[in-house]
Amino acid sequence: MEQDGSGRSFLERFPMLRGEGGRCALALLALSLTVRLVPAYLVYGSFDVGAWELVAREWQLGHNPYQTGKLNWPPLWPLLLIYVGRMQTIYGLPSYFAVKLIPICADAALTLALYFWFLSRESAAVGAFKRALWYALNPIPIATCALQGQFESLPALFTTLAVMAGSQTASRKAQVRSALWLALGGLAKFWPLFLLPAFLRQLRPARRQLQYALLAVAPTALSLLLLYLDDPDPILHNVILYRGRHGMWGLTIPASFLPQPTGEWLAQLVLVVLWAAWLVVYFLTWRRGSLAQVACLGVLTFYVFTPGFGLQYLEWVVPLALLADWARFRLFTVLATLNIATVYLFSPFNGEYFDFLRRTHTPLFWATNMNPHHVHMLILIGLPLWLFFIWWWASLLRDIMAGCAA
């Protein structure tokens, strides 16, 4: 058996991979990859897939992909699309399939991370395996990366790893790893950095809090600064000032029925409410609850108070809820799956999802996509889920304030 420099075999260094634990890990990896790769290859996906194809093509032509207007985040995902383009060229993969491979691999890695986390806390590998199956076979991340073609698994993976490492409060090295994982999450999307107070609350003294914050935030801030200095306009308008579409979710629903200037004002007001809600939540939980609970609550705060929402956002809370709120997580999985399925089934006219077997939109798509009827339909479909998030948010906050264990 192959040994490292210390004379120990690979399996001796990683005892969780021995015996039943290793077999369960391999089974989870194979299963999570299969249920994502097969539909990813058979289905083209939403218009997001076309956006990534365009970005990869712009890279190959030597152009700044941020000028396409398709990128609204820090540079990790567009940098990965460089390698997607090269992989597609070398192996002759379909472009729509190639752009999904990295998110699918990240999703499978997240499944294994959850499994090993549960295994470290369970007496039997079978129990950890069954718990991790809730992510491996969860329709929410499967639909997000394999059908819609989004890359939410990247920030979700890094944030979950940051929570796992940060939960080891006695270890200084673990806190450094946690900050680095959170920094990678911020390089993928901004939302992991909005959970920063959940990580800082457990650190002492204030110097360590400052060090953690700088380590987590600096990579994203520096990367955006370099991109801005290179080409200010697309970074300012497409990334820094990007707010998403409002009026179809939560507190901004009335904006769809108001004159546009009034609707824009309402969206800005709701954004202020979101920031205020985060401040209140982190203040109330500063000395209470586990890191996983407070991070989960931070994501739920976004769901309740955000002025803009997309189906792909639903993946953010899945791994955190698996760690922090097992009972309500299962109900959420059922409701969110029904929500996604309803949008897919009742939106064939918009060409965004149910036209994903073809990569070109019909004239009917351009005539109906995001018209008032479509917007009102999406409001009705999403309203029950938003109301559920309000209940979940209030219930989890109550549990944390009462000192209930995760």
Token code pair at residue 157: 């993976």
Instruction: Return mean pLDDT, the chain.
Output: 89
Torsion of CA 305, 311, 312, 316, to 10 degrees: 40
Torsion of CA 165, 170, 175, 177, to 10 degrees: -50
Q: Is 288 exposed, middle or buried (0-12, 13-18, 19+ CB in 10 A)?
A: middle
Distance set, CA 261 to CA 217, 256, 283, 306, 371 (Å):
34, 11, 34, 19, 18
CB-based contact 111:28 (threshold 8 Å): yes
Q: Give residue 390's pLDDT band: very low, low, confident or very high (50, 70, 90).
A: very high
Is the four-CA dihedral 357, 360, 363, 365 of positive or negative sign? positive
| More reliable by pLDDT, 131 or 62 | 131
**How many residues are there in the chain?**
406
Q: Is 260 exposed, middle or buried (0-12, 13-18, 19+ CB in 10 A)?
A: exposed
DSSP character at residue 3: B
CA separation for the pair 11, 3 (Å, rounded): 9
Q: What pTM, to 2 d.p., does this model score?
A: 0.92
3-class DSSP state of 204 = coil
The residues facing 3 across adjacent strands are 9
CA separation for the pair 81, 30 (Å, rounded): 24
> How many alpha carbons fall within 13 Å on the CB side of residue 102?
23
pLDDT tens digits, one per residue of 228-243:
999 999 999 999 988 8
Is the four-CA dihedral 127, 129, 131, 133 of positive or negative sign? negative
3-class DSSP state of 9 = strand
H/E element, 239: none
Q: Give residue 43's pLDDT band: very low, low, confident or very high (50, 70, 90).
A: confident
CA separation for the pair 350, 342 (Å, rounded): 13
Give residue 16's pLDDT: 59
Percent of residues, the chain, with pLDDT higher than 90: 66
DSSP character at residue 142: H
Give residue 313's pLDDT: 97
pLDDT tens digits, one per residue of 74-126:
999 999 999 888 888 888 999 889 999 999 999 999 999 999 999 988 768 89
Which residue, among 150, 152, 164, has the nearest Cα to 188 in the 3D structure? Answer: 152
Q: Is 289 exposed, middle or buried (0-12, 13-18, 19+ CB in 10 A)?
A: buried
Token code pair at residue 405: 């264990």
Give residue 57's pLDDT: 87
pLDDT tens digits, one per residue of 267-307:
999 999 999 999 999 999 998 999 999 999 999 999 999 99
Query: CB within 8 A of 211, min separation 6: which ones?
Result: 179
Give residue 406's pLDDT: 63
